[in-house]
Structures are given as structure tokens and as C-alpha cells.
Amino acid sequence: MTGYHTRWVPSPAESDDPERIAIREALAFGKAVYDRRTTLSMTVAELAMRAGMTVDDVECIEEGGTEPTVALLRRLAAALDADVRLTPGHDLGSVGFEAHAA
């Protein structure tokens, strides 16, 4: 039976499920916040203070537990000295924070 179950391929119906899309967006959002924060060598506590949030709030976002909203994207972009970049799709890389253009 070697190779019988070598990979899992989700059905197209699963990839269009709104709940799965929300999960992927939350994970992409969390990764983008984490990536920008670590690029700036900023601690979770520092970001929380700059964004007017709690450490638990920031950790929840970075772990993919918070769906992105426009207001939250703006708040974090200001705290991270960055612009928000959104691209089509719902996977990692679809949300990003980029340093302000000089």
C-alpha cells in the first residue's frame, strides 16, 4: 500500500467554505503582524503599548485567533510604522505590512 495515502487534496467545496476562508485570513493576518513586529525587533509588549492593546490581544492576533478588520489593520499599521498591503486570495502572504515609502 505504499503511496496510497501520500497526500491530502481538499475538495473545491472545502476551499470555498466561508469558515475556512476566515481561518486562513486570520492566520495570514497574524503572520503579517508577527513578521513586521520581529523585523522591527519589537516585543509583544511594545507593540501592545503602541497599539493601545493588551499583550493577550496581540498574542491572539499573532496566533491567528482574530479576524482582520479595517479598523484593526489601520491601528496596527500605525503602531508598526507601516502601510497595509492586501492582495487577492486568503492564504499566507495575502496580508502584509510594509515600511512607509521614503
Query: Would you state the pLDDT for residue 54?
Result: 97
Query: Would you state the pLDDT for residue 6?
Result: 67
Q: Answer whether residue 15 shows pLDDT above 70.
A: no
Contact assessment for residue 79 and residue 61, using Cβ atoms and an 8 Å cutoff: no
pLDDT (tens digit, 9 = 90+) per residue, 33-88? 999 999 999 999 999 999 999 999 999 999 999 988 999 999 999 999 999 998 88
Q: Answer whether residue 1 shows pLDDT above 90.
A: no
Q: Between the CA atoms of 34, 38, 43 and 49, what dihedral angle is there, to the nearest 10 degrees?
A: -60
Q: Strand pairing partners for 95?
A: 86
What is this structure's pTM? 0.82
Between 3 and 48, the more confident residue is 48
